[in-house]
Amino acid sequence: MEILDWQEDFDGMRLNDGSQIEAFLCESDIVIYVGNRGVGKTHLMLYKALPNISNPSYRAIYFRRMIKDSQGAGGIADRSKDVFGQFGTYLESVQSQTWKFDSGARVVFGNYSAGEKEFAEAIQGKEFYDAIIDEVTQISEDRFNAIFSNLRNTTGAKTQMLGTCNADPDSWIVHLISWWIDPETGYHIPERRGKERYFYQWGNDITESHWGDTREEVYELSKSYIDAMWNDNMAAYGSKLDLIQSITVFEGDISENKHLMKSGGVKYYGKLLKGSNEMKGRYAKACWKKVEMGDSLISNEDMDRFFNNSEQRTGTKYASLDVAGSGANADKVVLWIWDGFHITGVYATKGLKPNELLDWTKRHLSQEGVKNENFIYDGVGVGWIFEGFFDKAVKFMSQSSPSEDSRVEFDRKKLNVYKNAKAEVIGKFLDRLKNNNGAGECGISIDSSVLNKVVFNKTIRQHLEEEKTIIRWREDREGIKQSLDKKEVERLLGHSGDFIMSLIYRFAVDRTFVKMDKKKAKKLANFLSF
């Protein structure tokens, strides 16, 4: 069968280069195609059947959750007319929803809205070459298995289950494709996209399975289970390895859809970003991690007390800095100036080279009269450039262990309250903000001139009010207080929390600083002299 090729004036007859074509050509028993809206999942699903419709015995079924989901303008049944229209006739009634091709092949649009038992009974005995499930994250594992068990034919042709979806952290599909997902971030691991894996489910659900890179590897792990289910009469037709299933997972990207990109695709992507963070993770950038985040620990009332508090000066000047790298997409560098616990100044910049950032920092510290021992900076990442240049300064390592003082004694054991130093310092800040000295008072203050200062097109007040939302504890770390990581912060704000975090670093002033030896400092100075 000849399939029309795509022309520059797009006629809808070609798949996108990249993940779409790779998924189309994949021969795994199960193919899962994940992508944000606009990657062309519907087009891929319809194309899966197209090469086979010249086979009179070919049968395929497309599933949506409800009957109405396939119907209507823009639904998969409606879209199928563009792909299948020249090869057969579509029976459009609710009872049919079937393509009858000139060859005798059939493609049906079905649903799985019935109860699990009723659904299993309804499809029992039916034979399909291919089963394609749109929004596979919406189907239960039992229904999925019922469909999978009906993939068979008597012609020896390859059968396949294709499922497409947006990321849904609440779906059982997370467990099916977990090898392809970074457990920390919830995003797809780039180097594993399109990699085939094998599994044997020995238990009740997919979590009770053995996995491997080859069927032989899986057989060794599942030997006792497979041998127990094997019938020697089948040896003439196949092997025990045939009882092991293959699966490949692909992640589509909207940028691969050049036709959409040329027709306002970037603006469409912007529309996907208009919505909750859950929607962004599901529709804009496939994220399978459901982060249980508590409410912000800083209320509007807390901020009002801070902004309007009496001056909490001590006569000793401090400076706290969040360091960032250079480049157009770099985070902001924010330097706060303190008199005790009263903020008297703030400076911010962006995109400076290492030597420029050093000079910028030295100039402001000198101008404000802040001694090195009262200068606190974030020593993680780009912060290493400061080593050896600010003798006695406090290099705050956010991922280091919490201090001994922060631990509590229980049953003659010392238990951590905080996950790391960053969480501990946030805790200290919150204590002073909300309940200074246990008196229920606010223990920090800020000059009104600083609050009204405009930096990067917003006042300092606006920056702090916006970023306070990221100060919250992760609820998925039972018993230990842990702050949000960088990716989670960016999901909430769309950028890093540079202003609020650099302010909070002030409360790391009592942490240990390890000096760099002179030889290493000299070597670093040579590197920075560009």
**Cα–Cα distance between 364 and 348 in angstroms, integer?**
11
236: pLDDT strictly greater than 90: yes
320, 377 Cβ separation under 8 angstroms: yes
Element (H, E) at 415: strand 413-415
DSSP assignment letter at 41 = H
3: pLDDT strictly greater than 60: no
3-state secondary structure of 343: strand
119, 149 Cβ separation under 8 angstroms: no
Give residue 140's region: left, alpha or beta (phi > 0; psi -120 to 50): beta
9: pLDDT strictly greater than 50: no
Say what the pLDDT of residue 134 is.
92
How many residues are recorded in the chain?
530
pTM over cut 0.75: no
The sign one gets for the Cα dihedral 349, 351, 352, 357 is positive
- The Cβ of residue 190 has, within 10 Å, a number of other Cβ atoms equal to 8
Residue in the block written with tokens 């990442």:
381
**Taking all residues of the chain, what is their mean pLDDT, rounded to a whole number?**
84
Q: Where is mean pLDDT largest: 254-263, 356-365, 491-500, 520-529?
A: 356-365
Specify the amino acid at residue 118: E
State the Rg of the chain over Cα: 30
Burial 218-246 (b: 16+ CB within 10 A, else e): bbebbeebbeeeeeeeeeeeeebeebbbb
Q: 517 pLDDT band (50/70/90 cuts)? A: very low
Q: 386 pLDDT band (50/70/90 cuts)? A: confident
Residue in the block written with tokens 């001590």:
314
**Cα–Cα distance between 369 and 348 in angstroms, integer?**
18
Of 24-38, 141-155, 473-487, least confident by mean pLDDT is 473-487
406: pLDDT strictly greater than 80: no
Give residue-wise pLDDT tens across range 146-162: 999 989 888 888 999 99
Specify the amino acid at residue 58: Y
48, 162 Cβ separation under 8 angstroms: yes
Q: What are phi and psi of 51, to 5 degrees?
A: -65, -15
484: pLDDT strictly greater than 90: no
Nearest Cα to 211, choosing from 198, 192, 224?
A: 198
**Cα–Cα distance between 495 and 487 in angstroms, integer?**
9
Instruction: Please give the average per-residue pLDDT across 227-231, as a whole number.
Output: 95
**Cα–Cα distance between 305 and 297 in angstroms, integer?**
14
Of 131-145, 421-435, 472-486, least confident by mean pLDDT is 472-486
Domain extents for the chain? 19-284, 300-527
Instruction: Please give the average per-residue pLDDT across 187-205, as a whole number.
Output: 95
Say what the pLDDT of residue 8 is.
40
**Cα separations (Å) of 445 from 68, 127, 183?**
59, 73, 40
472: pLDDT strictly greater than 70: yes
Instruction: Please give the average per-residue pLDDT across 489-502, as a whole number.
Output: 88
Residue in the block written with tokens 């008597």:
154
455: pLDDT strictly greater than 50: yes
Q: 294 pLDDT band (50/70/90 cuts)? A: low
Instruction: Please give the average per-residue pLDDT across 304-328, as a whole number.
Output: 88
Q: 283 pLDDT band (50/70/90 cuts)? A: low
224: pLDDT strictly greater than 60: yes
Rounded to 5°, the CA angle 449-452-456 comes to: 125
413: pLDDT strictly greater than 70: no
277: pLDDT strictly greater than 70: no
Say what the pLDDT of residue 439 is.
87
59: pLDDT strictly greater than 90: yes
Q: 257 pLDDT band (50/70/90 cuts)? A: confident
**Cα–Cα distance between 426 and 501 in angstroms, integer?**
9
The overall longest dimension of the chain from CA atoms, in Å, is 90
Nearest Cα to 19, choosing from 31, 30, 7, 8?
A: 31
Say what the pLDDT of residue 249 is.
97
DSSP string, 97-150: -EEEETTS-EEEEEE--S-HHHHHHHHTT--BSEEEEETGGGS-HHHHHHHHTT
Say what the pLDDT of residue 528 is.
38
Give residue-wise pLDDT tens across range 84-112: 989 999 988 767 789 999 999 999 998 88
**Cα separations (Å) of 232 from 37, 126, 221, 229?**
48, 27, 20, 10
Helix boundaries (H) for 247-376: 258-261, 265-272, 277-279, 300-307, 354-368
Q: Where is mean pLDDT largest: 247-251, 288-292, 355-359?
A: 247-251
3-state secondary structure of 298: coil
Of 95-109, 375-389, 419-433, 483-497, least confident by mean pLDDT is 375-389
Say what the pLDDT of residue 272 is.
64
Instruction: Please give the average per-residue pLDDT across 42-68, as a whole number.
Output: 89
CATH topology of domain 300-527: Nucleotidyltransferase; domain 5 (3.30.420)
The sign one gets for the Cα dihedral 217, 218, 222, 228 is negative
341: pLDDT strictly greater than 90: yes
Nearest Cα to 137, choosing from 156, 164, 161, 107?
A: 164
DSSP string, 350-405: EB--HHHHHHHHHHHHHHHT--GGGEEEE-SGGGGGGTTTSTT-EEE-TTSPPPGG
**Cα–Cα distance between 87 and 55 in angstroms, integer?**
12
513: pLDDT strictly greater than 60: no
Say what the pLDDT of residue 526 is.
46
Instruction: Please give the average per-residue pLDDT across 114-135, as a whole number.
Output: 88
490, 496 Cβ separation under 8 angstroms: yes
Q: Which two tokens stand for residue 93?
A: 């009634």
CATH fourth-level superfamily of 19-284: P-loop containing nucleotide triphosphate hydrolases (3.40.50.300)
Nearest Cα to 257, choosing from 25, 12, 3, 2?
A: 12
Instruction: Please give the average per-residue pLDDT across 266-277, as a whole number.
Output: 66
Say what the pLDDT of residue 143 is.
93
Q: Where is mean pLDDT largest: 215-224, 404-413, 488-497?
A: 215-224
Q: What are phi and psi of 118, to 5 degrees?
A: -65, -40
Say what the pLDDT of residue 115 is.
80
